[in-house]
Structures are given as structure tokens and as C-alpha cells.
């Protein structure tokens, strides 16, 4: 099978960092055409810096990193330093990046790449708020039909909200952008909290990262040591949920995941439920299915894959 050509759109974020490391460790499965940073977990100045820190941690300073949108389409930016720390990558001490940030705006890179590559051959792996993606669709509608697939971490159904009682963070930060993407007609594969809350970095799993005895393994273990506080306090969970690596793991071993092809729509007006992903899991409406909404994962298989691939870096 030839490697899938991907653009990673991201707001690092410790879990974004692990997703990026997994992608960069898997050249036989995916070719990273570029990494586009968006404001989300922390402001854009930090997410673009963190994306470059992670590329250098992976030993891949040649990867092109672009800065994108610094705020959502219609709302003020909401960030998550309470989860990710003030740098967005709290936990390990990592050096400032030496690799350059690309001059081109991330949205223009997304448009140019999708227009230049053969139609239907570029997959968007979206790990943060969907602002860059929606902005690219608005700026150049012709790219919508040319996107192969969007695989995104976002939303929730049974798990409901992690930033409000009803909304997951990536969708909540920019509900209008999410609405544009979910109504785009593009093949969508969604990794909601329903599945990401099943891939918890238990002590044993984190020890496996640490026991790689590599800068990458140690950094990932230190990231999850920091990142897990929020979920342990909120959910009493037995470790950090590795949300975003579900996206890149899906590209390598899709059979690890299972879900339903259903209708998912985004609440964009109610202040009470803003950003809720209204997933018709039980198919009670006649709204057309628009997303493969994942509900389960083979967690041991996921961590075996992740640990093996991180061990390559």
C-alpha cells in the first residue's frame, strides 16, 4: 500500500505532539506534506513553535511548518492552559526550535497543496479547532471536492463535554468552522471523546514509553505525566487520554477502531449547548449520514503500535 499524503493541522498540545511523532515515525504509511498550526490549546505563537519543537524532537527539521489562524471564525479564542500548561507542551524541558517557520500562511499552503496534488490524494488530519480548514474552504471552495478524506479528533456523544457540559474542546473553540467542515460533504472520520477516553496512558503504558530509553520516549512519558492531571481530577481516569494520536493511528491500523456511519451536526447558536456534536448514534432522525463516528478502539493494540513506532525515532 502506498503511503497516504497528509497535512496535519494541529494545536500542540501534548497529545498533538504524540500524534505528530507517530506520523513522522511511520513513513511507510503516510507522507507529511506539511504541518499547519492553529490557535487552540494555546495561542498560535506557541502552537507554531511547539509544532517545530516536536519535529526537531523527532529528528525531522526538514518538515515544513506553517502558522495559520490565530482566532476562531466568529468567536474569541478559548485556550486550555489548565490542561496543557502555559507553554502548551509542559512536562519535558525541550529546546527552542532552530528550524524555520514557513513564511506562507497555513491556509494558503493548504489551498496550494490541494490544488497542486492530484485530486482525491490528500488527507487532512485535524487535531485542533477546525479554523484553518474552514477558512481554506471559504477562500477557495474548489478544494473541497479535491480532498481525499478528513480524519479529525473532535466531538463526543456518550462522553458529552470536556470544556462545557455538552461540548468537546476542538469543536467548542470554533463551532462555525466545525459546522462548515461537517456540512462539506467530504468523507469524514471522527475520533470523539467516546473513543479517545478509552486510550488511557496507564502507568504500565507510560513506563513502556520511558523504557524506550530515548529522548522521544522520555519526552512522551514526561508529557503524559503532566497532561494526565486534568483527566485524573475530572474523571478519576487511570491516566491521560491520548486523544489526537487516534487520528494518525487510524491511518496505520484502521482496524483498531470501530464506529457507525451516522449524521453528526454541530450546535452553533445555543449558548447553553454551543459546540455540541449532535450525533445521531441511534439513527432516530432522517438526517443523512455524513461521518464515520468512532465508538470503540482496541486500546492494547493502539499502545503496542504507538510504542513500537515511537521506538523508531
Cβ closer to ligand RIB: 91 or 146?
91
* Residue among 162 and 263 whose Cβ is closer to Ca ion: 162
Is residue 267 close enough to count as binding Ca ion by CB under 5 A? no
Cβ distance 42 to 68 under 8 Å? Answer: no
CA distance 10 to 16: 7
Tell me the backbone φ, ψ of residue 267, rounded to 5 degrees: -75, 120
Say if CB 125 and CB 245 are below 8 A apart. no
- Closest approach, Cβ 168 to ligand RIB, in A, equals 5
> Closest approach of Cβ 37 to Ca ion, in Å?
11
Contact 132, 9 (CB under 8 A): yes
**Which among 17, 78, 35 has a CA at the least distance from the CA of 227?**
17
Residue placing its CB nearer to ligand RIB in the complex, 113 or 162: 162
Identify the active-site residue in 197, 213, 243, 261. 243
Question: Taking CB within 5 to 8 Å according to partner kind, which of Ca ion, ligand RIB, none is near residue 169?
Answer: ligand RIB
Q: If DSSP codes are grouped into helix, strand and coil, which group holds residue 207?
A: helix
Our answer to whether residue 243 is catalytic in this structure is: yes
**Which residue in 16, 179, 228, 231 binds Ca ion (CB under 5 A)?**
16
Partner from ligand RIB, Ca ion, none contacting 52, C-beta within 5 to 8 A by type? none
Q: How far is the CB of 197 from ligand RIB (least distance, A)?
A: 10
CA 164, 169, 173, 178 dihedral sign is negative
What residues does 30 pair with on adjacent strands? 4
Q: How far apart are CA 176 and CA 295, in angstroms?
A: 24
Candidates 57-65, 82-90, 122-130, 156-164: pick the segment binding Ca ion (CB under 5 A). Answer: 122-130
Q: Which x/- pattern, by CB under 5 A, does the window 124-143 give for Ca ion? A: ---xx---------------
Residue 225 interacting partner from Ca ion, ligand RIB, none (CB closer than 5 to 8 Å by kind): none
Q: State which residue, 69 or 262, has the beta carbon closest to Ca ion.
A: 69
Residue 132 or 143: the one with the smaller Cβ distance to ligand RIB is 132
Q: Which partner, Ca ion, ligand RIB, none, binds residue 162 by CB below 5 to 8 Å per kind?
A: ligand RIB
Please report, as ranges, the residues that interact with ligand RIB according to CB under 6 A.
11, 13, 15-16, 40-41, 127-128, 153, 162, 168-170, 243-244
231 makes contact, choosing from Ca ion, ligand RIB, none, with CB < 5 to 8 Å by partner type, with: none
Q: 233-253 in b/e burial notation, b at 16+ Cβ within 10 A?
A: eeeebebbbbbbbbbbbbbbe
Cell numbers of 146, please? 479535491
Q: How far is the CB of 57 from Ca ion (least distance, A)?
A: 17
Nearest alpha-carbon partner for 248 in 53, 27, 84: 27
Residue 231 burial (C-beta neighbours within 10 Å; 0-12, 13-18, 19+) = buried
Q: Which does 168 bind (CB under 5 to 8 A by kind): Ca ion, ligand RIB, none?
A: ligand RIB
Please, what is the minimum distance in Å from the beta carbon of residue 172 to Ca ion?
12
Cα distances (angstroms) measured from residue 200 to each of 40, 178, 184, 208: 22, 26, 32, 13
Cβ nearer to Ca ion, comparing 79 with 123 = 79
Residues forming the site for Ca ion (CB under 5 A): 11, 13, 16, 127-128, 244
Q: Which residues are known to be catalytic? A: 243
Amino acid at each position: 500500500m502506498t503511503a497516504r499524503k497528509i497535512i496535519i493541522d494541529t494545536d500542540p498540545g501534548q497529545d498533538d505532539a504524540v500524534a505528530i511523532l507517530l506520523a513522522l515515525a511511520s513513513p511507510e504509511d503516510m507522507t507529511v506534506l506539511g504541518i499547519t498550526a492553529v490557535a487552540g490549546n494555546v495561542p498560535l505563537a506557541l502552537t507554531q513553535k511547539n509544532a517545530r519543537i516536536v519535529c526537531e524532537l523527532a529528528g525531522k527539521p526538514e518538515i515544513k511548518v506553517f502558522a495559520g489562524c490565530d482566532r476562531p471564525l466568529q468567536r474569541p479564542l478559548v485556550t486550555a492552559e489548565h490542561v496543557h500548561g502555559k507553554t502548551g507542551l509542559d512536562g519535558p524541558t525541550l529546546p527552542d526550535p532552530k528550524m524555520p517557520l514557513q513564511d506562507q500562511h497555513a491556509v494558503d499552503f493548504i489551498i496550494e497543496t490541494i490544488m497542486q496534488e492530484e485530486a482525491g490524494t490528500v488527507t487532512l488530519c485535524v487535531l485542533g479547532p477546525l479554523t484553518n480548514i474552514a477558512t481554506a474552504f471559504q477562500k477557495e471552495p474548489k478544494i473541497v471536492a479535491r480532498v481525499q478524506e478528513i480524519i479529525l479528533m473532535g466531538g463526543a456523544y456518550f462522553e458529552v463535554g470536556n470544556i462545557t457540559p455538552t461540548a468537546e474542546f476542538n469543536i467548542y473553540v470554533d463551532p462555525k468552522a466545525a459546522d462548515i467542515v461537517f456540512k462539506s460533504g467530504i468523507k469524514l472520520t471522527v475520533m470523539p471523546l467516546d473513543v479517545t477516553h478509552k486510550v488511557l496512558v496507564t502507568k504500565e503504558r507510560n513506563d513502556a514509553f520511558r523504557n524506550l530509553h530515548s529522548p522521544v520516549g522520555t519526552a512522551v512519558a514526561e508529557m503524559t505525566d503532566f497532561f494526565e492531571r486534568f483527566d485524573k481530577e475530572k474523571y478519576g481516569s487511570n491516566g491521560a487520554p491520548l486523544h489526537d494520536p487516534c487520528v494518525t493511528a487510524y491511518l496505520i491500523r484502521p482496524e483498531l477502531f470501530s464506529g457507525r456511519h451516522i449524521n453528526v451536526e454541530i450546535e452553533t447558536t445555543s449558548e447553553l449547548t454551543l459546540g455540541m456534536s449532535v450525533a445521531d448514534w441511534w439513527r432516530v432522525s432522517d438526517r443523512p449520514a455524513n461521518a464515520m463516528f468512532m465508538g470503540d478502539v482496541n486500546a492494547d493494540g493502539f499502545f503496542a503500535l504507538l510504542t513500537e513506532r515511537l521506538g523508531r525515532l
